[in-house]
A and B are shown apart, each in its own frame.
Chain A
Amino acid sequence: MIAERVELSDDQLDSPLGRTSPVVKLAVAFGWLAGLALTLHPLPPLILAGVALAAGLVFGGIPPALLVRGLAPLWIAAAGVATFNTLFSTSNSDPSSVALLSLGPLRVSVDAAVNGLALGLRVVAIAAVGAVFTLTTDSTRLADSLVQQLHVSPRFAYGALAAYQAIPRFAEDLTSLRQARRIRGLRGGWHPRLLVGVLVLAIRHGDRMALSMDTRGFGCGPRTFYRQVRWGPLDALVGIDALVILVAALTVGG
């Protein structure tokens, strides 16, 4: 998952969510996550996850297969969180709680099951919101918008962008070093030297990248912007809708 970077299609980028300011989408994501922390009810995360996924499909132009594939490992994680919290809840051993299931020594109370479900759904919600954000947000536009709208330092934003572009490279470096060990007759598997090698290569790549960015005048003075990012009605619409949905979800969950 680290090795490959999803390349967004024009459908995703030109969709309403694709055109929404990445800063607004980030704010929505963080707002929703903060809201979820306020409740232990399973309904709000279920609603938010459902809305996020539906919005991603309808207003984000995300191909359903891509969404399913991107989230696959997280379904398992969510199921794991739910099971773990259900089985190991303290309310299971509380005789005053209502038993949902009793199998010999195993006793699962209704409270425990509801809490476990809520925590699992919270993971699903976080994953869904994160996936919809990444699958509708162009990395360059994210950097542009962080700098122009949030006034993040360009050195940080574009530096991070350059590093992000280099991620697939690190996986290639590792593969190559492992192959180099094999062809030199050394045992496969993991070796601390591999990590050193990948780090050295990453630093050297960073150095070269920084040098070429410097020769192109990066950080030498006030910057202008080729691609202007401006606030628009779409940003307000998405922001307000997201807030309404969050409040509604929390209200439903009591």
Chain B
Amino acid sequence: MIEIKHLCKNFGRKKVLKNINCELSEGIYGLLGPNGSGKTTLLRCLTNLYPLTSGEIWINGISSKRGSKLRIGYLPQFFGLYKELTVKDSMRLFCNLKKVKGSDEKEIIEECLEAVNMSQYQDVSGRKLSGGMIRRVGIAQALIHEPKLVLFDEPTAGLDPEERMHFKKVISQLGKKETVLISTHIVEDIEASCDRVIVMNHGEICCVLSCKELVGIAEGKVYACKKGDEQQIPGKYFIEKQYEEDGEIYYRILTNEACEVLTPVSPVLEDGYMCVIKEI
């Protein structure tokens, strides 16, 4: 159980996180928000990398101020390896950093590499790995000390579709026992793997909802209309995307104002997210 109470984080005069309050139990949570909304800062506060300006974070009843003693697995947005070390040696280094017992090390490394489908690359040096492979080692190192809270910042960036599927399997297993928080821009990843979604904007949590509830927010607000017809919409609207159908250009529009030129469309998770962000 993760409890975040009145969390604020300032960088100089800039308020990046503003009075965050949230409770997370076991399961997989998606963290969605536009660039600069404070997602990475929140993750870094949870890992104790950033000192809090005010507020508290409790992880399984232990204050985050005792950070090093907590079992937190973290995959940062940008992850690299020592280029001269093999995958196995890099994992040994991570084991050492996270104080994994020497006697368990070999077994745990094998398990974690197996989980991310990297066992066959154990003896390959970091220099020879592709970006996606490095990302997979990053996921493996986050799991190496059997963490109680796992934080993934853009975990599937650079992974091919097959590896993304594999990653979803790994975290669905993990989410049965632990709390997993995934920050990503890829809404399909959230839809496919997360039990609940946290939407952040301007350093605040806008809502914590299930995927179904988030889709429900956009119910009756998603429309399609031909390019040019949007000018006839009487109230506030937001053009989500543009697409071509039968040689004509259409817009996918979010609005509260139904009118003749608009054709209702079934909402998806992205529509719900955009409704929250754009306050529609």
Q: Do A and B come from one complex?
A: no
Chain A residues packing against B (C-beta within 8 Å)? none
